[in-house]
Amino acid sequence: MTMNEMNAIDPQPRRVDAESLKAAIVDKLAYAVGKDSIVAEPHDWLAATILVVRDRAIDRWMESTRGPYRTGAKRVYYLSVEFLIGRLLRDAMSNLGLVEPIAEALNSLGVDLDAIEALEPDAALGNGGLGRLAACFMESMASVGIPAYGYGIRYVHGLFHQEIKDGNQIELPEDWLSDGNLWEFERREAAYDIGFGGTVESDGMAGDTVRQRWQPQEKVLAIAYDTPIVGWRGARVNTLRLWSARAVNQIHLDDFNRGDHVAALADLTRADTITRVLYPADSTVAGQELRLRQEYFFVSASLQDLLRRHLKQFGTVENLPDKVAIQLNDTHPSVAVAELMRVLVDLHDIPWEKAWAITRGTISYTNHTLLPEALESWPVGLMERLLPRHMQIIYEINARLLQSARKSLDADADLLASLSLIDEHHGRRVRMGQLAFVGSHKVNGVSALHTELMKETVFRDLHRLYPERIENKTNGIALRRWLMQANPGLIDLLVEAIGPAVLDDVDRLVEAGALAEDAAFQERFAAIKRANKMQLAEVIRSTVGVSVDPDAMFDVQIKRIHEYKRQLLNILETIAVYNQIRMHPERDWAPRVKIFAGKAAASYWTAKQIIRLINDVARVINNDPAVRGLLKVVFLPNYNVSLAETIVPAADLSEQISTAGMEASGTGNMKLALNGAITIGTLDGANVEISERVGPDNIVIFGLTADEVAAQRRAGHNPRAIIGADDRLRTVIEAIADGVFSPDDRNRYRDLVDNLMTTDGFLVTADFDAYCRAQREVDAIWREPASWQAKAIRNTANMAWFSADRTIRQYARDIWDVPVG
């Protein structure tokens, strides 16, 4: 008898009223945490509360997991090396409708919910946008009722903890698991062998293909850890399954007894290394073998796991595309194409053509960047050594790809070289984006502009060969986290103004647009923003010791520090304003606080210099009495999801100023606009669509377009000429070069300045003037509070389209072919 035929024996679902929750918390405190309420510390209360909420999630979790076994529904598997989940307690409570009763229960126990919530570690298993998108998608897939699994890596150390010392970024290890993780369940039954290295031997025929048998030289175990992901109203609870590596042999006792402790533990160390750290690179590929090991490790474990589940239920791999959709979140999991082919051909005896149809029918791929340095490729030699069978398969895929290109495009050698999965120009490398592309039935970009650029640039030739394959799926964000949880004051106001139906149907947000000019509504909207700014001001005071005026404009740029995101443009303009304030103290300056936060990859020297410059400029401006507090600059350390949740609701102005064509989408732009910040931005990524949705009067767009950027680059960008012709810009750059902001080391920014004057690869100087003018436009709007508030309200009212639920519905319909609720 299979479990399908058995009736599950279910526990009694847990009660959710405040009185029962109080009893449950006291119970957990004693029996699971082992603490007496008299001596319980805040972290003990947090543990008890998490366990109580977790129980209530589990009631829905088992039911949700069983569903597809009963109905035969298709499952979606989202493969990502990053899940930037942040804290989970508020998310789970909010989606289960438990915030109020839990707060009440804790209150009656003399415990403050907000205080203990802040103790939960922020799970930072990601670098930035791509990782946070994966987390938002997990929440949305549960909310719209898709049976979905997230598969990733359980890094012991997530993205580093950033400290700022003397203006410099210092990276400290992040340690989210040090006090245990109450959300996860270790699954001993889901443990798989993962092979590396070794040899390949032929092993008979499978149809017209020689079947090969890979004999790995090395094996490690992948162990699953499951975290429940609760959808809105708890209707569905999905699983985030993260893999941890463990040595097959934890210890070699003979070595140990001989006294060679290092050799005795060598396997343990090697396995442990695979899942120990997240690579802190967001746009350059860490070229290390370890990264490839991580990728193959989690891909192989995930495929084994999903195939086990599939075979248990259906007994055949032939219907895989009907029952399974695998989404590759960027190229990091793209070895899945070769791995699935290997499993089908070598282990299931499926002929090549059929295996290829199954693979392509099942897999699809999302591209998140066009930056050449971020396009992943692996040296052929490394692939051959680590994954010899996969390399053979990639050659075979490539041979067939080039064959069909010769036929249908009549391709010449240049075209073939450009299409090839093997890059012959940089010492023979496997292009993982190309591999993902050819192994997928759909390939998507993450904003309309980015998708068009994909067709014209990196995938131009593949797009010609397969013109139906590329589609756009503009990113979205989990509105529940980024509005309802992050900004409770605003959601309460919106519910009061337009009714509670908005909680279940976010499209109703547009109704708030009708109130944009309503003075009373404006006043309340502004009051909520001010309260959020007061909270942020307190965070600023307590973390960096700068006091800021909540009535000044909070001008916010929060994101990874990267040259293409152009924090440098922002700080140059800040210096220009500083100069102006000193030169014209009599003018009516609109007070501003420039708020920066973000991490730079540890190896990215220029980005770290930019952090240092921001901090140097902050010190000078904040301490100059001539500024009279009209301008403040703040760099908040250790940007993460939790800090974003504090900054986003408090922002007045959202800086989205990347060099056009370089930001694939952006999602911070969506979070800020949703919370009523006005965007100052270039026509890049999703800014284009935000502008279309909120209307051109409610956003400040400036600068070169993507086409103009390309044209300027072709024509030869000449920063020196631009600087020479602009006194203001020249003065700013000279001040930096002369050490005005680094009197202790006047040469500190010489390279940065040289680079700006000679190359300026991100066209900072080209957009400087337009940016300054746009900022003065912003000042003018700010001086008319009613006008500002109306625009802010229209931003909130028109952002619902950027809900990740909308994005997920589009993936479900156009890529995965799964129904949604």
Active site positions, annotated: 368, 559-560, 565, 667, 671
Q: Does 152 bind ligand NBX (CB under 6 A)?
A: no
CB of 374 to ligand NBX, least distance (A): 5
CB of 298 to ligand IMP, least distance (A): 16
CB of 73 to ligand IMP, least distance (A): 12
Which positions from 574 through 603 interact with ligand NBX, judged by CB under 6 A?
A: none
- For the beta sheet containing 237-247, the strands, ordered from the edge strand earlier in sequence to the opposite edge, are 185-196, 218-230, 237-247, 148-153, 75-79, 324-329, 363-366, 442-445, 470-472
Q: Does residue 241 contact residue 225 with C-beta atoms inside 8 Å?
A: yes
Q: Tell me the three-class secondary structure of 563-623, residue by residue.
A: HHHCHHHHHHHHHHHHHHHHHCCCCCCCCEEEEEECCCCCCCHHHHHHHHHHHHHHHHHHC
CA distances from 268 to 244, 247, 255, 275 (A): 12, 5, 13, 12
CB of 296 to ligand IMP, least distance (A): 22
Beta strands in 678-795 (DSSP E): 678-681, 700-701
Count of CB atoms situated within 10 Å of the CB of 261: 11
Nearer to ligand NBX, 225 or 564 (CB): 564
253 binds, among ligand NBX, ligand IMP, none (CB under 5 to 8 A by kind): none
Site string for ligand IMP, 55-94 (x = CB under 6 A): -------x--xx--x-------------------------
State the amino acid at position 562 in one-letter form: H
State the amino acid at position 647 in one-letter form: I
Nearer to ligand IMP, 310 or 671 (CB): 310
Q: Does 338 bind ligand NBX (CB under 6 A)?
A: no
Alpha-carbon torsion angle 582, 587, 590, 595, nearest 10: -10
Strands 324-329 and 237-247: unpaired
CB of 65 to ligand IMP, least distance (A): 4
Note the residue count of the chain: 821
Q: Does 664 bind ligand NBX (CB under 6 A)?
A: yes
Q: Does 285 bind ligand NBX (CB under 6 A)?
A: yes
Q: Does residue 151 contact residue 298 with C-beta atoms inside 8 Å?
A: yes
Tokens (6 digits) for 335: 């070895």
What's the sign of the alpha-carbon dihedral 504, 505, 509, 515? Answer: negative
Site string for ligand NBX, 449-478 (x = CB under 6 A): --------------------------x---
461 binds, among ligand IMP, ligand NBX, none (CB under 5 to 8 A by kind): none
- The footprint of ligand NBX on this chain (CB under 6 A) covers a number of residues equal to 20
Site string for ligand NBX, 371-390 (x = CB under 6 A): ---x----------------
Q: Which stretch binds ligand NBX (CB under 6 A): 334-342, 539-547, 661-669, 793-801?
A: 661-669
What's the sign of the alpha-carbon dihedral 796, 797, 803, 805? Answer: positive
Tokens (6 digits) for 555: 């001008």
* DSSP code per residue over 653-701: EEEE-PPTT--S--SHHHHHHHTTPEEEE-S-TTHHHHHHHH-GGGSEE
Nearer to ligand IMP, 55 or 289 (CB): 55
Which positions from 666 through 695 interact with ligand NBX, judged by CB under 6 A?
A: 666-667, 685
* DSSP code per residue over 525-545: HHHHHHHHHHHHHHHHHHHH-
CB of 248 to ligand IMP, least distance (A): 22
**DSSP state letter for 275:** T
Q: Does 2 bind ligand IMP (CB under 6 A)?
A: yes
Question: How far is CA 524 from its chain centroid?
Answer: 33
CB of 222 to ligand IMP, least distance (A): 14
Site string for ligand NBX, 185-214 (x = CB under 6 A): ------------------------------
Whole-angstrom distance, CA of residue 589 vs CA of residue 567: 22
Which positions from 355 through 374 interact with ligand NBX, judged by CB under 6 A?
A: 368-369, 374
Burial 367-398 (b: 16+ CB within 10 A, else e): bbbbbeebbbbbbbebbeebbbbbbbbbebbb
CB of 491 to ligand NBX, least distance (A): 24
CB of 662 to ligand NBX, least distance (A): 8
129 binds, among ligand NBX, ligand IMP, none (CB under 5 to 8 A by kind): ligand NBX
Give, rounded to a whole angstrom, the gap between the first and last alpha carbons of the chain: 32
Q: What is the CA radius of gyration of the chain?
A: 27
Which positions from 161 through 220 interact with ligand IMP, judged by CB under 6 A?
A: none
Nearer to ligand IMP, 313 or 705 (CB): 313
Tell me whether residue 188 is exposed, middle or buried, using C-beta atoms within 10 angstroms of its C-beta: 0 to 12, 13 to 18, 19 or more: exposed
Q: Does 343 bind ligand NBX (CB under 6 A)?
A: no
Which positions from 115 through 144 interact with ligand NBX, judged by CB under 6 A?
A: 127-130, 133
Nearer to ligand IMP, 238 or 377 (CB): 238
Q: Does 804 bind ligand NBX (CB under 6 A)?
A: no
Q: Which residues bind ligand IMP (CB under 6 A)?
A: 2-4, 62, 65-66, 69, 309
Q: Which residues bind ligand NBX (CB under 6 A)?
A: 127-130, 133, 281-283, 285, 368-369, 374, 446, 475, 663-667, 685
